[in-house]
Amino acid sequence: MVLRLLFSPVTGIAWIGEQLLERASTELDEKENLSKRLLALQLALDLGEISEEDYEVEEEELLLAIQAIEDEERANRLDA
């Protein structure tokens, strides 16, 4: 019981660290997936599978999503 009380702050800090790591990993995965989708979109345009108009619409959506993730990352760094 005494040991549990002594180690509970350490356990809490470790849990917080795990949560932060998981969040950062999720954001990186999300950004990486958006970048891959952007590359696939470019390939589809190059192969003539989609029109220039469709490409521009989807490209803008993907770029805005990537920018939103980068803005959130920047804001989190400033808060820390």
Convert the pLDDT of each residue in 1-17 to its tens digit. 555 655 566 566 665 66
pLDDT in tens, 7-49: 566 566 665 667 666 776 666 789 999 999 999 999 999 999 9
As a whole-number percent, the residues of the chain with pLDDT over 90 amount to 50
- Cα-trace Rg, the chain: 20
Structural contact between residues 72 and 27, judged by C-beta atoms closer than 8 angstroms: yes
Rounded CA gap, 28 and 69, in Å? 9
> Taking the CB of residue 62, how many other CB atoms lie within 10 A of it?
19
Residue 49 in 3-state DSSP? Answer: coil
Task: Indicate the length of the chain as a whole number.
Answer: 80
What residue type is 56 in one-letter code? E
